[in-house]
Amino acid sequence: MGSTEDLKSRLIKHSEGDVPHTSEFTPWKVEVYFAFETREKAAAFEDDLKSGSGHAFAKRHFSFESLIDSLQNSNRLSESSRFLV
């Protein structure tokens, strides 16, 4: 999680292993992104997501696993269904 003015360039750097903190987890792909008018608004949103309640919010709303769980719980997805993403 982080902010940038050039998402494509940032993704390439992470995927090529140029960022030590994330280099062992390559390749990277964007699951979701948000655009803000100012860096301050982006930083405030990032801080919120990194808080305890923000982690729970992100897991509920942005996690592929939570989507599958929701669909299975509503019986719209059978246990034998498979996804290729």
Q: pLDDT of 38-80, one tens digit each?
A: 889 988 988 888 888 887 887 777 765 655 555 455 444 444 4
Which is higher by pLDDT, 31 or 66? 31
Sequence letter at residue 78:
S
Query: Which of 71, 6, 64 is CA-nearest to residue 35?
Result: 6
Q: Is the pLDDT at 81 greater than 50, yes or no?
A: no
- How far is residue 28's CA from residue 83's CA, in Å, rounded to a whole number? 19
| pLDDT at res. 82 | 38
Q: What is the pLDDT of residue 80?
A: 40
